[in-house]
């Protein structure tokens, strides 16, 4: 069979496979060609492949604020320009600290002859490690030459013998040449990366090239973390602490404590109290922490959670009341069976309050857009038909102590705040809302001075939105 006849048959095959590939959703004829000739192109001329490179991981554009509250409108006009400058500077520092600038989208070339680790390779800072899996798979050449380069470290080949062609030892750019593919791969198996910049968690990108092929992969530079574990003990008293915050509502608080003791006589209760004139709170295994007057809702939450020594804590408001349907064990059962969960919310009487966020990061100059959908969820929790993944729950929830401490409660929010904790935890906390986990609510009593603090004026709301404009880098928001 002569060469022209071979080319004709190949052309027919490509045409037929191209039509099939379009029907099946393949990308283009280049993809089809790669499927026909995975190791080399004997008869077709193939143009050299260019480096695909790395790209920003997020194509960020301005998000729409149509129907949303624009947060900058809550900032005093004379202060806005300087606030925006500080906000931008802090956001850039946040990106560096959290490593978001290193989160690049890396695309792999089709049929690349380069072999390399795609994930899982970690190096402690200022430490040398062999890069696993480096190799070249290519057809016969007179000379094989590969190059590697990095930015935050240096590269070397261990145990190089006389006559072996390795250039750039101990530098950021390294090249290896050999007339033998076996010898080249032997040298690649001994390539080391040494981190030269001390950070506890960052990344470096390795550019690995051969002829017109280039691969890019990441190396995670990270100090190993020491585990922090909580001994769950043998019963509910060693697993869970009940926490609450009180302010001018001692009558309600005492009703709550008495109802807890009916069902859980020995469980620890922690009370954070910023009342104007503190009163004594008594009871077995009750820890009462008195704060400066009127320090606020989230400051009290921080204080209460900071004193928890158990794996979990159950958050309750001081005007709740335990009843026969209040079973903490059910919360723990769910959390133990789904260890990825950080927070599980229940219902206050018939109020199964939960919500889902829609968050767009927006462009880097203006900030993001956040919308809250009440009563919406993401999907059901596997194995629990009555539980659904959400982004926020009611003020009755069981939480992993260490997870909530990592997020914390913003003490700027003194009077009104709940959703804001879940805004701070978005992307860090895995949250579920479950039916059947019920606590009661006491009948309302005369509120007196409490009402003045509980329902502040409009200025408090404006200050909160202006605060979130800076703190959460939001352009607009809709609850």
Residue 159 three-state SS:
coil
pLDDT digits 0-9 by tens, 287-331: 999 999 999 989 999 999 999 999 999 999 999 999 999 999 999
Specify the higher pLDDT residue, 22 or 13.
13
Better-scored residue on pLDDT, 32 or 248: 248
* Residue 466 scores a pLDDT above 60: yes
Q: Any idea what the Cα angle at residue 97 is, between residues 91 and 102, rounded to 5°?
A: 95
Contact 399, 313 (CB under 8 A): yes
Mean pLDDT, residues 395-418 taken together: 92
Average pLDDT, the chain: 86
pLDDT value at residue 416: 75
Q: What mean pLDDT comes out for the span 357-362? A: 94
- How high is the pLDDT of residue 457? 64
Radius of gyration from C-alpha coordinates of the chain:
30
pLDDT at residue 55, rounded to an integer? 55
Q: Give dist(CA 409, CA 289) in Å, integer.
A: 17
Task: Tell me how far the alpha carbon of residue 283 is from its chain's centroid.
Answer: 41
Report the CATH number of the 236-478 domain.
Answer: 3.90.550.10
The residue ranking higher by pLDDT, 5 or 358, is 358
pLDDT at 241: 98
For residue 408, name the pLDDT band (cuts at 50, 70, 90). very high
pLDDT for residue 19 is more than 60: no
81, with CB counted inside 10 A (0-12, 13-18, 19+), is: exposed
Q: How far is CA 158 from CA 4, 193, 369, in A?
A: 50, 11, 51
Q: Using the predicted structure, report yes or no on whether residue 436 has a pLDDT greater than 50.
A: yes
Token readout for 452 is 């003045």
Q: Is 220 exposed, middle or buried (0-12, 13-18, 19+ CB in 10 A)?
A: middle
Q: Is the pLDDT of residue 259 over 50?
A: yes
What pLDDT is stored for residue 282 in this prediction? 86
Q: Determine the pLDDT at residue 57.
A: 54
Pick the CATH number of 108-222 from 3.30.70, 3.40.50, 2.60.40, 1.10.3470: 2.60.40
- Categorize the per-residue pLDDT at 477 as very low, low, confident or very high, splitting at 50, 70 and 90: very high
Taking residues 70-87, report their average pLDDT: 89
Pick the most confident of 12-16, 86-90, 407-411. 407-411
- Residue 381 reports pLDDT greater than 50: yes
Average pLDDT value for residue range 209-234: 92
**Euclidean distance between CA atoms 450 and 437, whole angstroms:** 29
pLDDT digits (tens, 9 = 90+) for 95-139: 877 765 556 777 888 889 999 999 899 999 999 999 999 999 999
Is a pLDDT exceeding 70 seen at residue 450? Answer: no
Which of 28-42, 109-123, 347-361, 408-422 has the lowest average pLDDT? Answer: 28-42
The residue extents of the domains of the chain are: 3-47, 108-222, 236-478
Return the residue matching tokens 């261990």: 158
Per-residue pLDDT band for 52 (boundaries 50, 70, 90) equals low
Band (417; pLDDT cuts 50, 70, 90): confident
Question: pLDDT above 70 covers what percent of the chain?
Answer: 84
Q: φ and ψ at 99, to 5 degrees?
A: 80, 15
**Greatest Cα-to-Cα distance within the chain, rounded to the nearest angstrom:** 102
Q: 239's torsion region: left (phi>0), alpha (psi -120 to 50) or beta?
A: alpha
Question: 33 or 221, which is more confident?
Answer: 221
> What are 156-176's pLDDT values in tens digits?
999 999 889 999 999 999 999
14 — pLDDT class (breaks 50, 70, 90):
very low
Distance CA 261, CA 312 (A): 19
């Amino acid at each position: 069979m002569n060469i022209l006849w071979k080319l004709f048959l190949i052309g027919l095959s490509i045409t037929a496979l191209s039509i099939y590939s379009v029907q099946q959703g393949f990308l283009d004829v280049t993809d089809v060609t790669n499927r026909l000739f995975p190791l080399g192109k004997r008869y077709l001329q193939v143009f050299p492949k260019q480096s695909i490179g790395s790209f920003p991981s997020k194509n960020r554009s301005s998000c729409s604020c149509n129907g949303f509250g624009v947060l900058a409108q809550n900032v005093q006009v004379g202060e806005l320009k300087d606030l925006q400058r500080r906000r931008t500077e802090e956001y850039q520092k946040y990106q560096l600290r959290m490593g978001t600038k290193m989160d690049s989208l890396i695309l792999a070339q089709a049929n690349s002859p380069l072999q390399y680790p795609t994930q899982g390779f970690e190096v402690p800072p200022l430490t040398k490690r062999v890069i696993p899996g480096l190799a070249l798979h290519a057809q016969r050449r007179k000379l094989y030459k590969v190059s590697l380069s990095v930015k935050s470290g240096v590269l070397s080949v261990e145990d190089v013998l006389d006559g072996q062609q390795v250039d750039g030892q101990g530098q950021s750019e390294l090249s290896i040449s050999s007339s033998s593919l076996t010898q080249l791969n032997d040298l690649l198996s001994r390539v080391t990366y040494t981190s030269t910049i001390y950070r506890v968690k960052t990344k470096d990108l390795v550019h690995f090239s051969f002829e017109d092929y280039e691969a890019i992969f990441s190396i995670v530079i990270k100090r190993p973390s020491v585990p922090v574990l909580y001994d769950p003990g043998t019963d509910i008293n060693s697993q869970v602490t009940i926490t609450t915050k009180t302010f001018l509502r001692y009558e309600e608080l005492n009703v709550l404590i008495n109802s807890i003791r009916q069902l859980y006589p020995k469980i620890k209760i922690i009370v954070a109290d910023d009342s104007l004139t503190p009163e004594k709170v008594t009871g077995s295994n009750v820890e009462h922490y008195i704060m400066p007057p009127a320090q606020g809702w989230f400051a009290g939450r921080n204080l209460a959670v900071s004193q928890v020594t158990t794996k979990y804590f159950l958050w309750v408001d001081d005007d709740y009341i335990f009843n026969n349907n209040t079973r903490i064990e059910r919360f723990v059962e769910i959390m133990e069976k789904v260890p990825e969960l950080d927070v599980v919310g229940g219902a206050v009487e018939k109020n199964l309050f939960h919500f889902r966020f829609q968050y767009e990061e927006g462009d880097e100059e203006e900030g993001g857009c956040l919308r809250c959908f009440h009563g919406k969820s993401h999907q059901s929790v596997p194995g629990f038909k009555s539980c659904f993944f959400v982004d926020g729950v009611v003020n009755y929830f069981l939480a992993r102590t260490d997870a909530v401490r990592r997020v914390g409660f913003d003490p700027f929010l003194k009077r009104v705040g709940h959703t804001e904790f879940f805004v701070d935890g978005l992307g860090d906390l895995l949250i579920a809302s479950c039916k059947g986990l019920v606590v009661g609510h006491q009948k309302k009593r005369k509120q007196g001075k409490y009402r003045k603090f509980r329902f502040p004026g409009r200025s408090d709301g404006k200050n909160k939105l202006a605060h979130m404009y800076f703190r959460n880098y939001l352009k607009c928001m809709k609850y």
